[in-house]
Chains A and B, each alone.
Chain A
Amino acid sequence: MSELGGSAAALALALCAYAAGASFHGARTGSTRWADSGARALWAAGAALTVCVATLLYALVTWDFRLSYVVRNTSLATPLLYRVTALWGAQAGSLLFWSWLLALVASAAVAGQRRQHPQLSAWACAVLSAVLGFFLFLVVLERPFRTLPFAPADGRGLNPLLEDPGMVAHPPLLYLGFVGLAVPYAFAMAALVTRRLDAGWVAATRRWTVASWLSLGAGLVVGGWWAYRTLGWGGYWGWDPVENAALVPWLVATAYLHSAVVQERRGAFAAWNLTLVVLAFGTAVLGTFLTRTGLVVSVHSFARSEIGPYFLGFVALLLAAPFALVAWRWDDLRGSPPVDDLRSREGAFLFNNVLFLSFAGAVLVGTLYPLAIQAAGGPQVFVGPPYFHAVAAPVGVALLVLMGVAVGLPWRRAGPGVVARFRYPLFAALMVAMGSGVVLRRPGVVAAAAALSFALSATLQAFHDAGRAGARIGRGYLQGLLEAFRTQPRRYGGYVVHLGVLVMVVGIVGSHGYVREREVTVRPGQTFTVGPYVLRYRSLEAGATALADARRATVELREDGRSLLLQPVRLFYPRWGQVVSRPAIRSTWREDVYVVLWAFQPDGSATFRAWVNPLVRWVWLGALLAAVGTVVTLGPRGGSRRAVFALGPWPLRQQPARDGHGGRAVREVLRALRGPRAGGGP
């Protein structure tokens, strides 16, 4: 069994090396045979890795305790689901899993593009194979199939914190997001080498980028959800270095998704988009490096090893190679069309990029600062939540304002009439600022609330315009909205994502600004309060799971005459010497009551930590809405402009405005409603 897995890994590495070489040769000489051979070798490497993963999975599921990995990450008490997730529960397995996902994604991307863009695909195949080869090299070093001289009767088991439904989805989603960013990276490199620096590579990889961004974002949210439900410290985001390491590539990818629109539409920002794509994948690999080597102090330090130097060298190469290529191709990149005026949608996208990258840069600086100080021989320092909150708050408010402004701005240049479009959003912001100023008395929250309502009403207005366009020509409001989604799924899907983000912001501001917290020791029968709630400690029961001693407290929450029982659990795992406090949460749209059994004494008295966390549910709801919106943007584009967008030459022909209201997007809806080509397309 272990021989099969080990040799499959070695075979995959050899195939990868061949795929990189053959694709490189094929791309350079223009030989389709070599390029095809390289692509096939990459697929074969993917198949070999699939065998590899299947072997390890089989060993985990069947408790093959001859394998050291199985012994260290499962025990006879581990249920089937967590024997499967043990695949990515520790270092060697997660690297193998990472590589396997990369192989699948790379194979699919090359298969999907090589007919349409043979030359780009050949170069991309070479880059992807090289990246995959590096990770396979690490897999071979880490030896996931290492055997023990004798097979013990039972294994050590998975870290108890990882036995949670959240952990089933969190790592795979993050990894999928990371590896997905390799696709635009590889195609950007291919575009640089082949000097095909138009929007072709951007369009060819758009779906991959959006899907990776979605996966990465979903991974982050699921991780927060897991932390909130499992770790028992009352929050969902701790600005932990490893969380930050996944947040940075997501922020960079967000910047890229916006500026990529400008390159596809206007042909501008070619060099800039290359830079963003390189940074996104570079920081993703840096994030994996930080996660997987335990370099930073973090709650995520489940896995550590000695592969650090290789990793660091690889990150340096990943970042250096494309910048060398950019320097080499600088003359081709200089010619991209300029931005005419900052008072335009392009201008808004530029400022969007400045804000997202400043945020990403600040998070990166904050994460790496302790390492830098230590490397320079300084004392151990931490950069914790206060720093990141201080950065996130102003950037967040600026982004909200920009989100509202950008929705109303036309491409190229806004005339003075554009101000009128913002009258409702401005009015809403003013009213909310005055209203919240009276109630909230915190300048930061008031600014956030005003910016939020500005962005929200500007976004809703965009939907309203589309609906009204339908109503105006007698096809109905709803039909107008549907037509907007059908003809311009990217634009209106994007607005749905914005709405989701706005809903999340409501939750984030509420759950950070107005937390109430109590920590008390009480005897059975005594009551304590947290915020407006009165809780009565009723009893403590002892119990046991297969691996842990358990204590379950019963706490009664009285509300409106009804009583509700909350049962937080404290688990002690003797094998790991680890305590896990699973909170009991009573969740409503208004706020969560979050109770943790913190400690207990022999006389039956217990120490609780209780929180009232406002509006947390809105975070999860907003994330769901944003995910739905993202899926909409991935859908096929209806209407007649598809051909222009696929690989259109820039600059696109401009159309003069015909009616003063609503801009091009609404005219698009009108045209679709009136029937094909009635309005005359470009």
Chain B
Amino acid sequence: MAAVLTALWCAGAWASGDLDERVRAVASRLMCPVCEGRTVADSTSELAAQMRAVIREKLAQGETEDAVLAYFVERYGPSVLATPPAAGSGWVLWLAPAALAAGGAGYVVYRFGRRSPWTWADDGEGEG
């Protein structure tokens, strides 16, 4: 409880949606083209720094986040996106977790869920 309250107390000061945060949001959706497996937000390369500056500039000019992403896709190709869009084979990726969870839960309910109905007579008996 204390931890949760601490978190709330702290979070009050943090909640905001300023430009820095939006730059970070866009940068973490882009892959740094010259380094291995790092997003533009996390990368320590020169190019990533320039890309962050471009993102900041464009967002400050009032462009939407999607427009900025589209700009980079146009320049560097779709491999610049940190996550493939949910289109084409990307659907496989995005549906896999939901399919696994729904399939698993569905199987469990189908296999084990149809047993005896819940009757009041059972109350308290099962604890063993």
Contacts and interface: CB of A to CB of B under 8 A. Distances in A.
A514 B39 contact: no
A158 to B, nearest CB: 19
A387 interface: yes
Interface string B21-42: 1011000110100001111011
Contacts of B92: 365, 369
Contact of A342 (B8, B10, B108): B108
A154 interface: no
Interface string A661-682: 0011000000000000000000
Given A652-B128, A657-B124, A385 B4 contact: no
B113 A384 contact: no
A591 B10 CA distance: 8
A436 B28 contact: no
B12 interface: yes
B125 A415 contact: yes
B78 A381 contact: yes
A299 interface: yes
Contacts of B97: 358-359, 361-362, 365, 391, 395
Interface in B79-127: 79, 81-84, 89, 92-94, 96-97, 100-101, 104-105, 108-109, 112-113, 115-116, 118, 120, 122-127
A340 to B, nearest CB: 6
A516 interface: yes
A259 to B, nearest CB: 12
Given A411-B128, A445-B11, A354 B77 contact: no
A539 to B, nearest CB: 23
A369 B8 CA distance: 37
A602 interface: no
A510 B10 contact: yes
A162 B63 CA distance: 42
Given A241-B37, A342-B109, A598 B126 contact: no
Contacts of A340: 115-116, 126
A338 B115 CA distance: 10
A271 B79 CA distance: 42
Contact of A365 (B37, B43, B93, B101): B93
Contacts of B127: 410-412, 655-657, 663-664
A518 B20 contact: yes
Nearest to B28: A385
Given A413-B122, A598-B49, A366 B93 contact: yes
A660 interface: yes
Nearest to B4: A453
Contacts of A518: 20
Interface stretch (A76-84, A229-237, A285-293): A229-237
B21 A516 contact: yes
Contacts of B101: 354-355, 358, 395
Interface in A487-521: 502-503, 506, 509-510, 513-519
Given A413-B122, A416-B118, A439-B11, A233 B38 contact: yes
Contact of A416 (B14, B116, B123): B123
B52 interface: yes
Given A342-B112, A439-B12, A298 B36 contact: yes
A426 interface: no
A362 B31 contact: no
A664 B37 contact: no
A532 B15 contact: no
Interface residues of A, number: 105
A536 interface: no
Contacts of A351: 105, 108
B90 to A, nearest CB: 8
Contact of A347 (B3, B84, B96, B112): B112
Interface in A577-628: 579, 581, 589-591, 596, 598-599, 607, 614-615, 618
A297 B39 CA distance: 13
B64 interface: no
A456 interface: yes
Q: Which residue, B4, B44, B46, B113, has most C-beta atoms of chain A within 10 A?
A: B4
B35 to A, nearest CB: 8
A524 to B, nearest CB: 21
Nearest to B7: A506
Contacts of A502: 3
A343 interface: yes
B63 to A, nearest CB: 19
A124 interface: no
B22 to A, nearest CB: 11
B1 A457 contact: yes
A179 interface: no
A456 B103 CA distance: 29
A436 B44 contact: no
A299 B123 contact: no
A295 to B, nearest CB: 12
A520 to B, nearest CB: 11
Interface string A89-112: 000000000000000000000000
Interface stretch (A115-123, A372-380, A551-559, A561-569): A372-380
Interface string A432-464: 100110011110010001001100110010000
Nearest to B85: A381
Contact of A385 (B6, B21, B39, B125): B39
Interface in A304-345: 338-344
A411 B84 contact: no
A384 B31 contact: yes
A522 interface: no
B101 to A, nearest CB: 4
Contact of B3 (A298, A361, A436, A456): A456
A357 interface: yes
Contact of A449 (B8, B52, B89, B112): B8
A354 B11 contact: no
A59 interface: no
Q: Which residue, B36, B37, B120, has most C-beta atoms of chain A within 10 A?
A: B37
Interface in A226-277: 231-235, 238, 240-241
Given A378-B89, A656-B125, A384 B82 contact: yes
A509 B43 contact: no
A285 to B, nearest CB: 22
B83 A382 contact: yes
Given A428-B1, A439-B8, A590-B10, 5 more contacts: A241-B37, A342-B113, A354-B104, A365-B93, A516-B21
Interface of B: 1, 3-4, 6-8, 10-15, 20-21, 23-24, 28-29, 31, 36-39, 41-44, 46, 49, 52, 77-79, 81-84, 89, 92-94, 96-97, 100-101, 104-105, 108-109, 112-113, 115-116, 118, 120, 122-128
5 contacts: A298-B37, A343-B118, A386-B83, A436-B11, A581-B44
